[in-house]
Amino acid sequence: MTVTTRFAPSPTGTLHVGNIRTALHNWLLARKNGGRFLLRIDDTDAERSREEYVDAIRADLAWLGLDYDGEERQSARLAQYEAAFAALKDAGRVYPAYETAQELELKRKIALGRGLPPIYDRAALDLTDAERAAKEAEGIAPHWRFKLDHAESIVWTDGIRGEQKFDAAQLSDPVIRRADGSWLYMLPSAIDDIEMGVTDVLRGEDHVSNTAVQIQMFTALRGAMGSDAPMPRFAHEALLVGSEGKLSKRLGSLGCAAFRERGIEPQAIVALLARLGTSQPVEPIADRQTLIDTFDLSTFGRAPARFDDGELERINTALIHQMPFAQVAERLPAGIDEAGWHAIRPNLTTMADVAEWWNLVTGPITAPDFSEEDRAYLVQAAAALDFSGDDPWQALTGTLKEATGRKGKALFLPLRQALTGMDHGPDMKELLPLIGETEARRRLEQSGAAGSKSAS
């Protein structure tokens, strides 16, 4: 079958770095296998879902370059959920329960106090028809639970965690529908995965127990709906933690908007998150196909994956230093040609730095005060400036070295300071031709003028 993965965010907020990693890994898994990657908007929570978040999710995926092969909205599939729910009801796999949240919490505390697992005691199954009718006559609407088969062990081979086994009797029958008729996550998700042909479910390890429950849901749904859809393969990856080694609230708020504000390139995020938590080296890989070809669930570890801002910034800088002019031309200030980009690129940490470094060419620049000896040297440099050859910087420094005996810092630093106003920066061999002969001579002469606090 065609490998089909899905990313299923709830539009109750914007994507954070953990969501992005999940989306990316599902995209990589589908693309590596020539399969399909679906976006499913899990918007059954009408009270909290917002259309602006749906738009933001789409925009973030587009910015990251994670194209999808189809989009579904759970809010448009309510009829399918009703039909599947009715089939499960007829099969005796769902049942009404009437406990309040306070009553359930009390039961949980009593169980814990007795040293027992805090699982639901299935008291609702013992109610008679008359007792249920009496509760509903009192205006108590039921919530609905899925009835797990306690006789069946739940076993699967996880793509990352290996053999997994759960005793269904040690799990609570999950609530699948609220008293107001709205759906919780697990049943609609299982229905969708069957009907959309999802073959691989890759998500965080916090969903492991959900998977155990959903495997029984899949089995029950296939029987109740007469479906022959195969059980999806499941894989659960370790969660992200901060660089300090602890789960970080900050990771829950770190999203594409924050990355863009910091000048992080989307490919830097992709390069980092593609291999974070695996045995493969995290490298500044610009070629998306390389990340696809090397994606392998067998390389994923069980230890928490550490997200390090410093590592992201290093990757970002390295990727910018690889970018050809054609890739960035439309993002550059007016006047920067390929030679200009090549000159300033090695000094960039983010693309936001371009204008600052290009200002060394266009001006104005402010040079420092120079000693009397250096001012005389700069006047001499202005006179020696010669753009007739291919390398005016080498010609200038060669002439000055021979004429003055200067070398090293004494030879180069006053020239750089007078021409750029800085002690460091782009290679002067590349920068000087961009400044141009007339402007370069003017800057040298102005810096060499007696008592100058040179600004140009």
Binding-site members are 249
In this structure, what are the phi and psi dihedrals at residue 313, rounded to the nearest 5 degrees?
A: -65, -35
Q: What distances in angstroms separate CA 36 from CA 66, 197, 234, 271, 300, one per listed residue?
A: 12, 10, 16, 21, 22
Q: Which residue has the tokens 């013992």?
A: 126
Asked if 56 and 23 touch (Cβ cutoff 8 Å), the reply is: no
Residue 383: both structure tokens together: 């006179």
- C-alpha closest to that of 69 among 41, 43, 39, 26: 39
Q: Which residues contact 221 (CB under 8 A, 6 or more apart)?
A: 84, 87, 88, 190, 191, 194, 227
* Residues in contact with 145: Cβ distance below 8 Å, sequence separation at least 6, in sequence order: 94, 95, 97, 120, 124, 173, 174, 175, 176
Whether the link from the prior residue into 364 is cis, omega within 30° of 0, is: yes
* CB-CB contact of 359 with 421 (8 Å): no
Which residue carries 């040079």 as its tokens? 367
Q: What Cα–Cα distance (Å) separates residue 54 from each residue in 11, 79, 398?
A: 5, 21, 62
Are 177 and 142 in contact, with CB atoms under 8 Å apart? no
Please tell me what DSSP assigns to residue 374.
H
50 to each of 23, 53, 54, 162, 406, how far by Cα in Å? Answer: 20, 5, 7, 38, 68
Between CA 114 and CA 143 the distance in angstroms is 27
* Binding-site residue set for ATP: 249
63 forms bridges with which residues in the sheet?
Answer: none
Residue written as token pair 């920068």: 431
Q: Where are the alpha helices (DSSP H) in 33-171?
A: 51-64, 78-90, 101-113, 129-137
Q: Residue 27: CA atoms inside 13 Å, Cβ hemisphere, count?
A: 22
Spatial separation of the C-alpha atoms in residues 398 and 324, rounded to whole Å: 32
Which residues contact residue 151 at a Cβ distance below 8 angstroms, ignoring those fewer than 6 apart?
168
